[in-house]
Every structure is written in structure tokens, then in C-alpha cells.
């Protein structure tokens, strides 16, 4: 029997035959050049993914007009000078055997730099939900200019060799803003009702169709439901989708939400099940007779095959999974599901890094992503004897990469099992996927021939006798124990004891520390205790609500009745109470029958001094440098191996 018979079946869209129904959707990378042209780094990134032969690859957002570019590295398609680079991009996609599309984009009121200059455009002068600044309300002349810009961009895309264009009318950007009653307060023919708010999108599609001809496919990406209070609903959208198809849309790419929607649903965190949005694609299919693409945390090709078999959608977008493992599709074709590196939906490298740090794309569990031009693909010239201290995410990634490059690797882990902090981090709600990934990585390391010695501490005696050529110090961190009167009372425990189950939860619990460890421990405790309080010294939560996971975490704790005291410090712990200082005033919290310490880690670096004393080349990685996220741990582990 053929594997994945539905997902791997061909489909024809307006004369364009796609080999299969797997779609790599447009994902921003920040890999473009500063002049908005295609860079060598972007071509390398795309080449790596095109090798998997998905049916369709839609290249990332490309600005149809200078007034719609979000950042200077967003690809441009508003001038003929961009065509040579875009042609290289389409050729790179075609070389792998995929159909090539490019997404046409205008940011509208979400263009931060243009908002600052008073030049951003929008349907109305309603402030951006993200930046809080209003755009300039578009005149009819402005609207004509943007319609023509979309059309001219589509013509350039065809000249550059793309097989299709996708018009971006989702996620809170300009066309989506016209659809939204939150952003569009117009009272003319382009506002006041869903039909009127959809008019500008209809006219953009019509203008594109007139300019590219009848034989060129047009995809339309929509947020089927705005998923925000006061926004349009799925029912609203279904009334106008037929108008978009009548105007010339050949495909509907059914997404969800905007970047102003709470919880980051456009790049859903692990709280959402894979394929959670497929039912909306089915609703779209019920009102139009064109192919519909579904999207929503897809990682498993078998699930995608079932979605197509059920008739929920005609094609399936795998977004972040292409970052985590660009070879997942060939592995699935061969039945090698155990080899697939599954996206953990952490958003650290693909969303948070781009949006909050302004950096280029990465993947927290795949160090190759975004670094294809420097990723070493061939074995090291001189194999070395490499010892790695620590089998957490950093140490295991270092071992994986060092072994791949031909070095003789041994890993020493003082605990009884590999996994480091992720053994505990995977216990709170919705975090199992983290544990699954670190077990997958451990398995791959062992399969490569690396010996992982658990229950063994790498010390000076072993180093002096073994004399490795290089040591990677990935020893993690030590638990920080605050100096508080009463910290040694029997009801005081640390977060790791609670998560591991060696100490049962109390009845009335106070957690010291509102960072990620404290908040996730509280998330674990919340349904298991009567009262729960988290005390954090900082005046603002270290766990940002702007991140998808952070928002969901705060919401669950609030809904669960957890009290979060910010700007507070624990003054003393007593038998049945805790005294907390807040704004110079002392509060006595009682009853408290259990105190959980979760103030974090401090780097463990003793081995570095030993290596220096023995003159053994070495480097630090992960929490041994400074306790941070998975992405820093894995990247430092990988680069430590690359640098040997």
C-alpha cells in the first residue's frame, strides 16, 4: 500500500500541476539583504527546504509598495530591480521539483517605522493593536495606488518565474485591516458592513487578475476568524469568501487570527493540538469550489493525510516543521517516522527572535536553520577526541554535531539520566513535547556511536588521565537558594522536587520566583492545591505575555485563582505563614503549609578552571555560560562542536 496516499497525490490548480499536497507556507526569515533584495543566505535556506520536494513552496512576504514594508530586510517586489533576485529564488524552488509562489504583502498599520514617521497607511486612523499608534486613513487615491501595486507586483512575480502569487489578506496586515471592524471604521462603500469591508480585497484580486491574465493561479491567504474581541468571526468571513473566488482567487489559504490576537494563535504554541484549525478549512470548502489549504501546527504527515482523506482540506501547510526538520517529508515517504525531528512549537527562533529581537530566523532544535551558509556539511579535517560534560540540551546537541563531523565523542552526565533541565521542564502542562524532543536527540546521539556515561562526573583526575583533545563544558547550572530566614524549615522545597514528584504538593502553597521555572511549577501545582501564590521580586513579570506560551501561562494561572505578587520579596518563612515585603510594607500570608523555591540557576563552571589548569582546549555552552532558553543552549552546543 502506498504511504500517505492522499497527501502525496497530485493536484492541479488552474493548469499548475503539483506533485503532492504538502505546502511550505510563507514564513518571514529576516534573511533578505538590507536593500530588500534576495540574499545568498535566503537562497541557501530555501534550497535546503526545496530538496524535500513539497508540492508548493510559497516564498515569504514581499512588499508590493514601500509604504507596506515592515523592515528593511523584507523582500521587495515593488520595482523591476528586484526581479533578478526573485528569479534566482523561483529557480531555487523549481530545482527541487516544487511549484513556486511568492506572497504579496502590505503591512498597513503594522509598519512600526512608518508609524513613527506618520507615514503608515490603514483603512482608518485606528491605532495598531501592537504598537498603539494610528496610521493615516487611506484616501481613494491611496487605495487605487495600492491596488495597482499589488497587480504590478504580481506581474513581476510572473516575470521572475513564479508559478503563482499569494495575496496576503491575513494576520492583521493591510487587507486584513480592511476586513476587520476593529481597524476599519469607514462609513463609505469600503466600511460599515462585512460586504463593504471586503470590497477592497475583492478589487485587489480583480486588479491582479486583469494584469496577470486568466491562466495564472492566485492564492488568497485569509484569517478565517479574527479571533479577537470585536473582530470579524468565521460566520462573517464565510459570507464574503465566495466574492473573493468570483473576483479571481483560485486557492484559499485558511489561516487564523492576527498578530494582535492574544495567545499568538497565528503561530500556535504547544497548548493547541496539531491540526486544530482544520475544521475552519472545511467550513470554507463548504461555500466555495476551489482548493483550500489548511494550516495549524501540523507536524505529522499522517495526520495531514487523514485531514485530506476526510475532505477537510485539499492541501496542508507545514510551517515551523520545515524549520525543525527540512527532511521530514522524505523521511515520511520512506516510512522513517522515528527519524523526524518534530517541532516543539516553542516559537523561540522563528517568532520571538524575529519579532522581539529583530534577528534572523533560527530553530531552537535545529541549529542549521538560518545558518545554512555556515553549517558544516562535511566531516572535520582532523578527527578529535572530544569529551562533553553534561547531557542536557546543550551537551546533547554538541555531541550530535561533533559526532556528525567525525569526532570521537564521549558524554559524561553526573545525573542518572540524560536530558538536563528538560526532564523537569517537560512535566508542567503542555510541555511533554519538550521531553519527547530531548529523548529523540539522546537516541540520535547514541545511534551515532557516542557513549553517554550517566551517573559519572567528569573531574580533574579523569581529564588528566584521559587527556581529550577538546572539552565542551555544558554542565548546566546550580539551583539558587535565597538567604531568607526560615529557608531551612521542613516545609520548604525546591521546584525540581515538586515537578519530579519526590515531594507531594501541599495545600496552601507559596512559590518564590516568578520566572519561567516558578510560573511553570505554579502551572503544575494550580489544579493540585487549594491556594497558590507566586512572589516575584521584579515589578514586571519576567515571563512576557507577548509570547504565545507566556500569554497562555498567565491566563491559566489567573483563571486557576493563582495570586501573582510582583515587586515583592520574601522577608521570612515561618511554620504556617510567609511574610512578604511589597512597596516597603510587610504582608503576612497565612496559611502557607508549603514553600517552593524557584528562583533559578547560577552557572556551574568548575570544570572550566580545571581545563585551564590542565591546558586542555575547551569552551562553555548553555547554562554553564548563563541560564537561558533552549535556543541559546542548542546553538551554543552546536557551534562549540563546529569550532573544534
The residues that are catalytic are 173
Q: 643 burial class (0-12, 13-18, 19+ CB within 10 angstroms)?
A: exposed
Cα 544 versus chain centre, distance = 15
* DSSP code string of 244-277: HHHHT--EEEEE--BTTSTT-GGG--TTSPTTTT
Is residue 182 within 8 A of residue 230, CB to CB? The reply is yes
Is residue 234 within 8 A of residue 241, CB to CB? The reply is no
Judge if the upstream peptide bond of residue 591 is cis by omega within 30 degrees of 0.
yes
Is residue 157 within 8 A of residue 58, CB to CB? The reply is no
Closest of 516, 354, 468 to residue 30, by C-alpha? 354
| Distance of alpha carbon 455 from alpha carbon 401, whole angstroms | 23
Closest of 104, 43, 40 to residue 68, by C-alpha? 104
CA distances from 356 to 348, 369, 433, 489 (A): 10, 18, 24, 41
| Distance of alpha carbon 124 from alpha carbon 588, whole angstroms | 51
**Judging by DSSP bridges, how do beta strands 75-76 and 56-63 pair with one another?**
parallel
Provide the grid cell at 51.
Answer: 530538496
Closest of 256, 255, 242, 221 to residue 290, by C-alpha? 242
| Distance of alpha carbon 208 from alpha carbon 352, whole angstroms | 33
| Distance of alpha carbon 124 from alpha carbon 187, whole angstroms | 10
Q: 408 burial class (0-12, 13-18, 19+ CB within 10 angstroms)?
A: middle
Is residue 244 within 8 A of residue 220, CB to CB? The reply is yes
Neighbour-count burial for 432-461, b at 16+ CB within 10 Å, e otherwise: ebbbebbbbbbebbbeeebebbeeeebeee
| Distance of alpha carbon 435 from alpha carbon 439, whole angstroms | 6
Q: Angle at which helices 40-50 and 83-95 pack, to 10 degrees?
A: 20
Provide the grid cell at 588.
Answer: 503576612
| Distance of alpha carbon 253 from alpha carbon 219, whole angstroms | 7
If one counts every other C-beta atom within 10 angstroms of the C-beta of residue 416, the result is: 7
Amino acid at each position: 500500500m502506498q504511504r500517505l496516499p492522499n497527501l502525496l497525490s497530485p493536484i492541479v490548480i488552474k493548469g499548475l500541476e503539483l506533485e503532492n499536497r504538502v505546502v511550505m507556507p510563507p514564513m518571514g526569515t529576516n534573511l533578505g539583504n538590507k536593500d530588500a533584495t534576495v540574499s545568498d543566505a535566503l537562497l541557501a535556506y530555501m534550497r535546503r527546504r526545496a530538496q524535500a520536494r513539497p508540492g508548493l513552496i510559497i516564498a515569504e512576504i514581499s512588499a508590493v509598495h514601500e509604504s507596506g514594508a515592515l523592515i528593511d530586510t523584507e523582500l521587495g517586489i515593488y520595482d523591476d530591480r528586484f526581479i533578478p533576485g526573485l528569479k534566482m529564488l523561483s529557480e531555487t524552488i523549481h530545482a527541487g521539483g516544487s511549484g513556486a509562489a511568492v506572497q504579496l504583502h502590505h503591512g498597513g498599520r503594522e509598519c512600526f517605522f512608518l508609524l513613527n514617521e506618520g507615514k503608515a497607511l490603514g483603512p482608518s486612523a485606528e491605532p495598531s493593536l501592537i504598537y498603539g499608534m494610528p496610521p493615516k486613513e487611506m484616501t481613494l487615491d491611496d487605495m487605487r495606488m495600492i491596488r495597482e501595486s499589488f497587480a504590478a507586483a504580481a506581474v513581476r512575480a510572473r516575470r521572475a518565474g513564479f508559478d503563482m502569487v499569494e495575496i496576503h489578506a491575513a494576520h492583521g496586515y493591510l487587507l486584513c485591516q480592511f476586513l476587520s471592524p476593529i481597524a476599519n471604521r469607514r462609513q463609505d462603500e469600503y466600511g460599515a458592513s462585512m460586504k463593504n469591508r471586503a470590497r477592497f480585497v475583492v478589487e485587489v484580486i480583480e486588479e491582479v487578475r486583469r494584469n496577470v491574465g486568466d491562466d495564472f493561479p492566485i492564492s488568497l491567504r485569509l484569517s478565517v476568524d479574527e479571533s479577537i474581541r470585536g473582530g470579524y468571526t468565521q460566520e462573517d468571513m464565510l459570507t464574503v469568501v465566495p466574492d473573493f473566488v468570483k473576483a479571481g482567487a483560485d486557492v484559499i489559504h485558511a489561516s487564523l487570527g492576527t498578530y494582535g490576537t492574544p495567545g499568538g494563535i497565528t503561530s500556535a504554541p504547544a497548548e493547541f493540538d496539531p491540526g486544530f484549525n482544520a475544521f475552519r478549512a472545511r467550513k470554507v470548502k463548504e461555500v466555495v469550489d476551489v482548493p483550500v489549504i489548511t494550516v495549524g501546527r501540523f507536524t505529522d504527515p499522517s495526520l495531514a493525510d487523514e485531514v485530506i482523506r476526510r475532505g477537510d482540506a485539499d492541501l496542508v501547510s507545514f510551517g515551523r516543521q520545515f524549520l525543525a526538520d527540512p527532511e521530514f517529508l522524505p523521511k515520511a515517504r520512506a516510512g522513517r517516522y522515528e527519524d523526524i525531528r518534530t517541532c516543539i512549537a516553542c516559537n523561540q527562533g522563528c517568532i520571538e527572535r524575529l519579532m522581539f529581537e529583530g534577528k534572523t530566523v533560527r530553530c531552537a532544535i535545529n541549529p542549521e536553520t538560518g545558518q545554512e551558509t555556515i553549517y558544516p556539511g562535511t566531516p572535520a579535517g582532523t578527527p578529535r577526541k572530544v569529551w562533553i560534560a553534561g547531557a542536557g540540551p546543550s551537551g546533547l546537541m554538541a555531541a550530535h554535531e561533533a559526532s556528525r563531523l567525525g569526532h570521537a565523542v564521549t558524554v559524561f552526565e553526573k545525573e542518572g539520566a540524560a536530558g538536563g533541565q528538560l526532564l523537569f521542564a517537560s512535566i508542567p502542562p503542555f510541555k511533554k513535547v519538550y521531553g519527547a524532543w530531548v529523548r529523540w536527540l539522546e537516541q540520535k546521539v547514541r545511534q551515532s556511536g557516542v557513549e553517554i556515561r550517566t551517573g559519572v562526573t567528569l573531574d580533574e583526575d579523569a581529564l588528566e588521565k584521559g587527556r581529550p583533545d577538546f572539552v565542551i563544558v555544558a554542565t548546566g547550572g546550580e539551583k539558587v537558594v535565597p538567604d531568607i530566614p526560615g529557608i531551612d524549615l521542613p516545609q520548604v522545597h525546591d521546584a525540581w522536587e515538586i515537578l519530579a514528584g519526590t515531594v507531594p504538593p501541599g495545600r496552601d502553597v507559596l512559590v518564590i520566583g516568578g520566572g519561567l521555572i516558578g510560573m511553570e511549577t505554579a502551572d503544575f501545582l494550580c489544579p493540585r492545591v487549594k491556594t497558590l501564590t507566586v512572589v516575584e521580586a521584579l515589578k514586571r513579570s519576567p515571563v512576557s505575555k507577548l509570547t504565545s506560551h507566556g500569554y497562555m501561562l498567565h491566563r491559566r494561572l489567573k483563571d486557576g485563582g493563582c495570586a501573582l505578587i510582583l515587586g515583592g520579596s520574601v522577608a521570612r518563612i515561618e511554620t504556617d505563614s510567609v511574610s512578604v515585603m511589597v512597596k516597603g510594607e510587610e504582608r503576612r500570608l497565612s496559611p502557607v503549609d508549603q514553600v517552593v523555591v524557584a528562583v533559578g540557576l547560577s552557572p556551574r563552571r568548575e570544570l572550566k578552571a580545571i581545563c585551564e589548569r590542565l591546558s586542555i582546549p575547551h569552551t562553555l555552552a548553555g547554562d554553564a555560560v548563563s541560564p537561558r532558553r533552549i535556543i541559546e543552549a542548542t546553538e551554543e552546543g552546536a557551534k562549540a562542536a563546529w569550532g573544534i
